[in-house]
Amino acid sequence: MTPDRPATPLAAFARLPRPYRDRHIVRSTVDAFGRAHWLLTDGPPESRGKEPYDTVVVTVGDGRPQETHLSPVQGKFPRFDALPDGGFVVAETRSGVHEEHAQVFDALGRLSWTFRVGDGIEHLLADEAGDLWVGYFDEGVYGDDELSWPGLRRWSHTGEPLWAYHPEDGGGTISDCYALNVSGRSAWACAYTDFSLLEIGPDRGVRPHANQVRGANGLAVHDGRVTFFGGYVNDHDRLVIGELTDTGVTAVAERRLVRPDGTGLGPRRLVCRGPRIYVQEDPFTEWTVLDISTR
Domain of residue 83 covers 7-294
State pLDDT tens for residues 125-137. 999 999 999 999 9
- In single-letter form, the type of residue at position 284 comes to F
pLDDT of residue 273: 98
pLDDT, tens digit, for every residue of 183-208? 999 999 999 999 999 999 988 789 99
Say which CATH number the domain at 22 has. Answer: 2.120.10
Chain-centre distance of CA 176, in angstroms?
14
Query: What confidence tens digit (pLDDT) does each residue in 175-187 have?
Result: 999 999 999 999 9
Has residue 1 got a pLDDT over 50? Answer: no
Residue 36 lies in a domain: yes
Number of separate domains in the chain: 1
Q: Is residue 22 part of a domain?
A: yes
Please, are residues 270 and 218 in contact by the beta-carbon 8 Å criterion?
A: yes
- The CA-to-CA distance between both ends of the chain, in Å, stands at 22
Residue 1 lies in a domain: no
Gyration radius of the chain over CA positions: 18
Q: What's the gap between Cα 122 and its chain centre?
A: 8
In a domain, 2, yes or no: no
As a dihedral over the C-alpha atoms of residue 239, residue 7, residue 9, residue 275, rounded to 10 degrees, the angle is -30
